[in-house]
Chain A
């Protein structure tokens, strides 16, 4: 699927300053070597199982299935991982790789804070220094995660530029990496950025679909009919899709954050409203104006509040292999509340976007059909913000 310059169709590539080129070339070489090294894989698997709590459960959502009256619904419980989201999968892989490369310091961007918390956790575990860049706006929306990162020993730097959200945090982390490469690995949190990040992050997240496949085969003896996941940059979605890409019978559905709607400017639905562009090291689809200025996007979910999408998703969209659908704030919040009451599971507001689309889709499917929703993270971090959305003011 990828060629030597990390292309997915026309997407991907390495659009970065010359200062960083040797760093990404070194990273690619180190990763190829590690990938082929059984001791690296064994160490990563041990960390996944013993530290992160893998494999995560595939849970049959009995009440939800009955209530929606269509497809049999399974939830892939990435929210039960250590640190509460799928982000830990990628972070453990990259931290292990960084250590192998002799790096002693991790830098990361974060939106909702889950990737920042994950990176801070891995840094603590491996005795590395950690600096996390987070948009000013997001430090307010996700104050609890800022505290968690600091508690774990990381320095959190609020980013004031631009819209003070995820894209600005990525820009700040890239700037910091050009400043200090020798001892520092940029632990990118999603399947985006310059090659080899989209491939490397996907490989670490692919454990999700590998497990889903084994679990559903054991439980139902057949493949699911649909796999749903939320998409910002797209790391949990590519993780949930990857091992099903060649199984044409499995519908792959990415749920984008439409914010206040795709017909408004307050949206982050890249496939629905973006066009082809070059930004943050990659060619892909981006929300932008007619002159290529990146649009200030909006979503209630800090983790999906990004104007682009990973290049492999862009390619899956181009080829029609995966579908991408917009989900509004209101729909996501309703789904957040629905899953909490229906199954006793409070999903991350990001994951709630996938739940929301599942609520529309499941009733249209047959009872003999199977749907898997990737619950990419837990929703504790979102409770205060959702309460505010519903007009209730609670203090944490």
Chain B
């Protein structure tokens, strides 16, 4: 059983407990604060941490995470420094951690070299929003060889593609709740239930919903429909507002969200 499956309480659909997944942009405002925020989120009940490696041109992100990427890069964060941070975190953090970044960050580093570093640092998988099903074989085998899960996404427009993607999904399946880019939304109108039903027919790995979730009520609704809720922009915004003081706010927020999804 992969570390990621453990975050959902087991590997078969029947045993899944509801997971809360927290996304944090590495290096915003600095890596020390990122590490503290990761610990705070885990203490608050986060079952899995998505660590965003900043990219200069994050085309799947809304304004909040775009701005966090810019701040982090201006602050001088690099992929190598992020690996160092993860290694240090692994001394006391056991919760699964995955990287979320863009294809070029991994490709330019060297896919094999990047995966070696991930495995060495204790990373459990990666999410690359600009690598769809058709291109994943460039990345997935290198991940697989090192026990990393290459996480796939499905979107409201996936329709006839859901079964194909779900059948090859690893770790967990990331359900994109809405059209557009990441960011807080007042309402999610996609028929998530129908998407999850299709996923369940094709795989037993857990699925979690992300994009647009910010309140405990939304998180509960999405987690009720699936196996968990993913929150990014709302956490990144807290960090933008509170800077180095952010960890305690992240803790309180994650705690309320974890209560929302129902432990």
Contacts and interface: CB of A to CB of B under 8 A. Distances in A.
A126 B108 CA distance: 43
A58 B180 CA distance: 45
Interface in B39-63: 55-57, 59-60, 62
Nearest to B104: A292
B130 A171 contact: no
A18 B155 contact: yes
B79 A291 contact: yes
A75 to B, nearest CB: 36
Contact of B104 (A17, A167, A180, A278): A278
B146 to A, nearest CB: 20
Interface residues of B, number: 42
Secondary structure type dominating chain A contacts: mixed
B99 to A, nearest CB: 13
Contacts of A277: 104, 107-108
Interface string B90-125: 000000000000111111110000000000000000
Contacts of A162: 56-57, 70
Nearest to A286: B104
B262 interface: no
A314 to B, nearest CB: 14
Contact of A17 (B70, B155, B159): B155
A32 interface: no
A272 to B, nearest CB: 18
Q: How large is the interface on A (under 10, 10 to 19, 20 to 34, 35 or more residues)?
A: 35 or more
Contacts of A3: none
Interface stretch (A8-16, A198-206, A346-354): A8-16
A251 to B, nearest CB: 32
B57 A279 contact: yes
Contact of B56 (A181, A276, A294): A294
Contacts of A294: 56-57, 104
Contacts, number: 118
A350 B181 CA distance: 33
A293 B104 CA distance: 8
Given A22-B161, A23-B157, A290 B108 contact: yes
A292 B129 CA distance: 16
A17 B132 contact: yes
Contact of B179 (A171, A181, A275, A278): A181
B12 interface: no
Given A14-B135, A21-B161, A291 B109 contact: yes
B179 A179 contact: yes
* A16, A22, A277, most chain B CB atoms within 10 A: A16
B104 A21 contact: no
Nearest to B154: A18
A23 B132 CA distance: 13
A167 B108 contact: no
Given A278-B107, A291-B78, A19 B179 contact: yes
Contacts of B165: 18
A180 B105 contact: no
B240 interface: no
A290 B160 CA distance: 39
Given A179-B179, A291-B78, A279 B104 contact: yes
A186 to B, nearest CB: 12
Given A17-B153, A18-B154, A167 B180 contact: no
A209 interface: no
B73 interface: yes
Interface in A17-45: 17-23
A178 interface: yes
A174 B57 CA distance: 11
Given A23-B157, A178-B179, A291-B79, A17 B108 contact: no
A14 B103 contact: no
A93 to B, nearest CB: 25
A341 interface: no
Contacts of A364: none
B132 A21 contact: yes
Interface of A: 5, 13-23, 161-162, 167-168, 171, 174-175, 178-181, 275-281, 286, 288, 290-294
29 contacts: A14-B132, A14-B134, A15-B131, A15-B135, A17-B59, A17-B129, A17-B130, A17-B153, A18-B133, A18-B153, A18-B155, A18-B161, A19-B176, A21-B133, A21-B157, A21-B158, A22-B158, A22-B160, A22-B161, A162-B57, A162-B70, A178-B60, A277-B104, A278-B130, A280-B57, A281-B130, A292-B106, A292-B107, A293-B105
| Chain A to chain B: the 5 pairs with minimum beta-carbon distance, closest first | A292-B108, A179-B180, A19-B155, A278-B103, A292-B104
